[in-house]
Amino acid sequence: MTDEPRDGSGEAGPDPDPTGTARPADGPPGGDDSGTPHDGSHHDRSRHDRGRYGGDRHDAVHDDAPGAAASRLTGRAVVAEHRLSAALAEVTLDGGQVVMVKRGDAPGAVRAEAAGLAWLAEARAVRVPAVRGHDARRLVIDRVAEGRPDARAALRFGRDLAALHAAGAPAFGAPPPGGLEEAYIGRAPMRNVPGDDWPSWYAAHRVLPYLRRAVDEGVLRPAEAAEIEGVLERLPDLAGPAEPPARLHGDLWNGNVLWGADGRVWLIDPAAHGGHRETDLAMLRLFGCPHLERVLAGYQEAAPLADGWRDRIGLHQLFPLLVHAVLFGRGYAEQALAAARGAPA
């Protein structure tokens, strides 16, 4: 989830798709199997930079420029710097290596992302950019050279994603080692409070906080919220067989999936935590992903999902839809309500 335009210029456009189909806040809806990539490369699609990393503000006087920060954090000289937005820059280091330098304004944002990337990398499954250095305000990661989506990479991505999930987590809601309890999903706060039971944890620490906020801010009516609460009360019966906590990316919409020039899929901008593996898959479907059915086929080959998982997609989409409702308005609230009404009887 995001709110930064791809070229880093101007204001984001988070209004819902007029068709009522869920869509990310910074671009057109994607097709499940279109195979059509969004334009631009990793650095062009600075998806979270305004939410998690602050607004369109120039660096404060006390904050060093991206090139200087990259040099300081990597110990290498900088030969070129290209600013892509107020919070993101592409920097070329001595020797030709290209890195991305992000600025973080929200408390703990850089630490949370660095910890999440390290935790995902530890699983040796889906590829993520290496963290080259970070401090309280700057994160330096490798730039990913992008190619085009293709069916073979999608199948492998599904298998790799299954391996990532299988790496596990200590508990539902557990943050990555070195991560934070008060973390983020895009520009929105996300509390990582550990729990042993997925239905009760998901209701209490993911859905209900944003459901209440949506009512308080007038984007969801009390009677509509009551419908969603009714579904949450039935979650123990709707959630399917109990599963151990999975190691989640946590914000796995299509914008955070990079189809690398190396033929592999790379993931960026995690909101990593322990959760239910179906949540990552439901997020992929929420905003569309090229070759999604091939991704799912690869996943099923490696780690078959429990019967009825397609019927549970809407349950896992409640959290991101309510986050979007609070950030961007009524259209997403209506989609959350539709997801709740589509829950099995």
In this structure, what DSSP letter does residue 54 have?
Answer: -
Work out the number of other CB atoms within 10 angstroms of the CB of residue 19. 8
- Catalytic, 237? Answer no
The radius of gyration of the chain's CA atoms, rounded to the nearest angstrom, is: 19
3-state helix, strand, coil in the chain (%, to 5): 40, 15, 45
Q: Which of 26, 49, 251, 280 is catalytic?
A: 251
- Please count the residues of the chain: 345
Question: 285, 309 in Cβ contact below 8 A?
Answer: no
Q: At what angle do helices 313-328 and 277-286 cross, to 10 degrees?
A: 60
- How many CA within 13 A on the CB side of residue 70? 28
Q: How many angstroms separate the Cα of 144 from the Cα of each of 45, 127, 128, 149, 151? A: 12, 10, 9, 14, 20
Please identify every residue annotated as catalytic. 251
